[in-house]
Amino acid sequence: MKIGSQAHHSSAISTSNEATILVRGRDLTQELIGHIGFTEHFWLLLTGTMPTTAQRRILDATLVAIAEHGLVPSVQVSRMTLAAAPEALQGAVAAGILGCGSVVLGSSEAAGNFFAAIAAKIAAGLAPEQAAKSLLLEYRAMRRPIPGYGHPLHKGFDPRARRLFEVAAEVGSVGTHIEIARQVERLLPELTGKQLALNVSGAIPAVLLDAGYPQGALKGVPILARTAGLIAHLLEEQLRPIGFVLSHVGAAAIEYDGEAPADFEPTHE
């Protein structure tokens, strides 16, 4: 039964009364806590249905793949913010999440939208290679970067991307989007002159979209995963702080090149 289904302004995620909390129609206490894992709960929250084993394993694999990669910018941001404002762990996490943008971690979303647009062309009748080539040319004409390929450290290939495709094969969830991601990789040298391997931010949306994960929540995967990594770094920051070390070496690396009186001697040089 649906309640309030005529309402113009409504939400289908959760409601409660004094004794019961419903999440996606399930009794939180009796059906969910202690019965399902957090990854299944995340899928349920997003879609309203419980994931299959394959869907859960794919989502787990992407969250594990992207949660942590050392002292990346968002981690440094988060640790510096906690050093300055230790009273508010939530502020340090929020600052780190704000760096999940279009350039760094949010590129999963851009890559997913790119693959989905190619999939739409295939659904409209184009052959896969034609569909991919056609969108690649559109992006190049608009000087838009091709999202999901190349990595500054993992140059030959991104081991996480390769592993995610293996997991998708293991659970029997290889579909159109993974094929498209491979097709684009093959076309890139010819169309761009560069041999760029699929990176983790390209592999994540490919395997998730093939598993039926909602396209509008693609950016949520790196955001949720990195939140776990940030919390680990913020625990470590409390135990052996490096936040101010990071800001000192950062400041020392940048010279001042503005105006100054002739006799002024900067401290850091």
**Residue 42 binds its own copies, judged by CB under 8 A:** yes
Q: Does 196 bind its own copies (CB under 8 A)?
A: no
Residue 130 as a binder of its own copies (CB under 8 A): the answer is: no
Q: For its own copies, which stretch binds (CB under 8 A), given 114-122, 132-140, 190-198, 240-248?
A: 240-248
Residue 231 to residues 2, 69, 95, Cα–Cα distance (Å): 38, 14, 12
Separation between Cα atoms, residue 110 and residue 218, nearest integer Å: 9
Q: Decide: is 111 part of the binding site for its own copies (CB under 8 A).
A: no
| Helical packing angle, 107-123 and 176-192, nearest 10° | 100
E strand or H helix at 123: helix 107-123
The answer to whether 125 and 112 have CB atoms below 8 angstroms apart is no
Shortest spacing between CB 128 and its own copies, in angstroms: 26
d(CA 205, CA 213): 9
User: Does 64 help bind its own copies (rule: CB under 8 A)?
Assistant: yes
Stretch that binds its own copies, among 130-138, 176-184, 187-195, 211-219 (CB under 8 A): 211-219
14 binds its own copies (CB under 8 A): yes
- Strands 21-23 and 14-16, bridge-based pairing: antiparallel
Q: What residues from 214 to 233 belong to the interface with its own copies (CB under 8 A)? A: 214, 216-217, 219-220, 223-225, 227-229, 231-233
Find the shortest distance in angstroms from Cβ 190 to its own copies: 25
180 vs 223, which CB is nearer to its own copies? 223
| The only residue of 125, 141, 193, 240 in contact with its own copies, by rule CB under 8 A | 240
How many CB atoms neighbour CB 209 within 10 A? 23
Q: Which of residues 70-99 bind its own copies (CB under 8 A)?
A: 70-74, 76-77, 80-81, 83-95, 97-99
Smallest gap from residue 148 Cβ to its own copies (A): 16
Distances in Å between the Cα of 268 and the Cα atoms of 68, 77, 159, 255, 265 are 33, 22, 40, 8, 9
Stretch that binds its own copies, among 117-125, 158-166, 176-184, 189-197 (CB under 8 A): 158-166
Asked if 68 touches its own copies (CB under 8 A), the answer is yes
Q: Is 184 exposed, middle or buried (CB count within 10 Å of its CB: 0-12, 13-18, 19+)?
A: buried
